[in-house]
Amino acid sequence: MALSRDDVAKLADLARLELTETELERLVGQLDLILTAVDSVSQAATAEVAPTSHALALVNVMRDDVVTASLPREAVLAMAPAVEDGRFRVPRILGESA
């Protein structure tokens, strides 16, 4: 897809960019190269190639869940900064009734 100087000038106007003649001439060639590269990528995609989000397969390392004994309730509550009725005491959330 070949871009003309007028195409680039129109794009610059839409983007509210003020370009000199030198910049316009330089951008014509640069934008044409970019569009050619994008076009070649779109031609390479085929129906046989599955879409991927990563080049390499991602593997999540998981461990088996193992049931173990927890700390005794008294020991946990002994480490808490505030306890009430055998539970952690936390500040009241605004707007909640008691």
Domain membership of residue 32 as a residue range: 5-44
Which alpha helices (H) appear in 15-72, and where do they start and end? 21-44
Q: What percent of the chain has pLDDT over 70?
A: 95
Q: Around Cβ 11, how many Cβ atoms within 10 Å?
A: 14
Indicate whether 27 belongs to any domain: yes
Indicate whether 77 belongs to any domain: no
Among 10-14, 29-33, 46-50, 86-90, name the one with the lowest average pLDDT: 46-50
Q: Which of 25, 27, 26 is nearest to 15 (CA)?
A: 27
pLDDT of residue 68: 94
> Can you give the CATH number for the domain in which 10 is found?
1.10.20
Indicate whether 53 belongs to any domain: no
> Tokens standing for 50?
């599955």
Q: What percent of the chain has pLDDT over 90?
A: 54
What is the H or E stretch that residue 87 is in?
A: strand 87-88
Total domain count, the chain:
1
Indicate whether 34 belongs to any domain: yes
Indicate whether 16 belongs to any domain: yes
CA distance 6 to 17: 14
Indicate whether 26 belongs to any domain: yes
pLDDT of residue 19: 93
Tell me which of 47 and 13 has the higher pLDDT.
13
Beta bridge partners of 83: 88
Mean pLDDT of 61-77: 93
pTM over 0.75: no
